[in-house]
Amino acid sequence: MGQGSPRTAVLAALCILLLLCSHGAPVSPKGTHPMLCQPHGRCGDKFYDPLQYCCYDDAVVPLGRTRKCGNCTFRVCFEQCCPWLVKRPQESSMVKVKGQNCHLDPSSDDRVCHSVS
């Protein structure tokens, strides 16, 4: 019997990998290098696991990272600090869900943040 060509072996390996990835095969256990099937994001020239990190201000940060917004704290991966230009200087900013337009009127999900003197 003749041997298969190296090209056939490579194609077979790719087919198996595609089948595993398309059926939600387990990804690498914790502490090992990520496999091709594992979801990933990109932040500048760095890749990251979006289940543990996000890209904020061109840096990879943990999902739990917080920042100050006036006297409020917001989660940088899920929320944003919006300057609130109104005639009430004590209410200088607002925390909104990430991706919402900062210029929209406050909704019940938003938090008004007072300026810190």
Binned average pLDDT, 10 residues per bin, the chain of 117 residues: 58 54 48 61 92 94 95 96 68 88 87 82
Residues 67 and 113: beta-carbon distance below 8 Å: no
Distance CA 8, CA 32 (A): 29
What pLDDT shows up at residue 23? 47
pTM for this prediction: 0.60
What pLDDT shows up at residue 40? 83
